[in-house]
A = this chain, B = another copy of it.
Amino acid sequence: MAATRRPTLADVAREVGVSAKTVSRVLNEDGPSSPETRARVLDAVARLGFQPNLMARNIRVGGPDTTVGLVVPNLGNPFFGTVAGGIEDAIRERGLTLLMGSSAEDAGRERQLTDTFLARRVSVLMVVPSVDADHGHLKSQRAAGLPVVFLDRPGSGIAADCVVSDNRAGTREGVAHLLGKGHRRIGFIGDIPPKLYTRRERLAGYRDALVHAQLPYDKALVVGTHDEAGAAEAVRRLLALPEPPTALFAANNIVALGAVGELARTGRAHDVALVAFDDLPLAGVLDPGLTVVAQNPAELGRAAARTALARLDGDRSRARTVTVGTELVARGSGELGV
């Protein structure tokens, strides 16, 4: 089948017997046009299956493209998927489209993606920063009027808007929940690398709770890992300590999966208390139900979109950080005796 050339404005104009500009006027409801020409133009458009070339339009108009560039670590993680959904909800009504890519937490890939997005002249750039990424190169873009929003974690080397969960307060609340049940030795299983923003904040919340309860910080109770198997191993190590913890705090959903699994396999699920950061689908069905500090990823996305749209509307105030609250959802696993 021959690759027929797509019809252009000129084709439609020729078909109708008017100038290209007239067709453009009708389609964009720019300037006036007689009802009759209007009808004939629309008819020809439908007949030819004409679709205006948005790229050509954008290049002429000169403004940014009607896209929002979004970089996340991993598209398959429902947390980031839901964030993206929240963003899309908020930008759709403004006629903006989402351009997405995943960095796999790699600074180089992140840079490559943001460069591509910049070359596409996105209207807004949103990034979940990778650990070692530097964002100094975005300064000039921001200066030139491009809204830049960091999601889930702050960017580095640049003052830009940022939307994050209240990791510290959320963790403090989760750990306080365990302390309230009488636990005095609480293990913390966190991310790797320790310098990851969310890990740092959550660990800070853990320490806050200990300080408030006038308990010492014992670094033997703090372990870092980055996958499910590692988390299982971490649980084993913690419970094998001379003075083992009676409760555990799993600082993210991956680690939580590993911890829940290990406790279940070793028959200690009703024996060791557990609270996790970030909710999971079957959390309420487990026995005992998994108590979590739930984040609000959709709201994270919506807040980021709101911030960016305000910038597009001319808001030139200084960069701000929006903190989205978390919610402790008690389902039982945090209420086991010491």
Residues of A within 8 A of B (CB): 1, 3-6, 49, 51-56, 58-59, 65, 67, 74-78, 80-82, 84-85, 88, 92, 97-102, 115-116, 118-121, 137, 140, 143-145, 257, 260-261, 264, 280-287, 297-298, 316
Set of chain B residues within 8 Å of A283, measured between Cβ atoms: 282
Bound together, the chains give a CA A81 to CA B264 distance in angstroms of: 29
Bound together, the chains give a CA A282 to CA B254 distance in angstroms of: 10
Bound together, the chains give a CA A74 to CA B82 distance in angstroms of: 9
Per DSSP, chain A at the interface is: mixed
Q: Which of A55, A84, A102, A143 gathers most chain B CB within 10 Å?
A: A55
Task: Report A291 CB to chain B, min CB distance, Å.
Answer: 14
Assuming the contacts A140-B49, A282-B282, A287-B287, asked whether A102 and B121 have C-beta atoms less than 8 A apart, the reply is: no
Set of chain B residues within 8 Å of A74, measured between Cβ atoms: 85
Assuming the contacts A97-B116, A264-B287, A285-B286, asked whether A81 and B88 have C-beta atoms less than 8 A apart, the reply is: no
Assuming the contacts A140-B49, A285-B260, asked whether A121 and B78 have C-beta atoms less than 8 A apart, the reply is: no
Q: Are A98 and B97 in contact (CB under 8 A)?
A: no
Q: Number of copies of this chain in the oligomer? A: 2
Q: Are A65 and B55 in contact (CB under 8 A)?
A: yes
Q: Are B143 and A1 in contact (CB under 8 A)?
A: yes
Bound together, the chains give a CA A120 to CA B132 distance in angstroms of: 34
- The closest CB in chain B to the CB of A48 belongs to B140
Q: Are A76 and B76 in contact (CB under 8 A)?
A: no
Q: Are A102 and B119 in contact (CB under 8 A)?
A: no
Bound together, the chains give a CA A149 to CA B53 distance in angstroms of: 22
Set of chain B residues within 8 Å of A75, measured between Cβ atoms: 81-82, 84-85, 88
Task: Report A123 CB to chain B, min CB distance, Å.
Answer: 13
Task: Report A332 CB to chain B, min CB distance, Å.
Answer: 12
Task: Report A305 CB to chain B, min CB distance, Å.
Answer: 13
Assuming the contacts A59-B59, A82-B75, asked whether A144 and B102 have C-beta atoms less than 8 A apart, the reply is: no
Bound together, the chains give a CA A27 to CA B280 distance in angstroms of: 47
Residue from B1, B81, B116, B140 in contact with A316 in the complex, judged by beta carbons closer than 8 Å: B1
Q: Are A82 and B88 in contact (CB under 8 A)?
A: no
- The closest CB in chain B to the CB of A89 belongs to B102
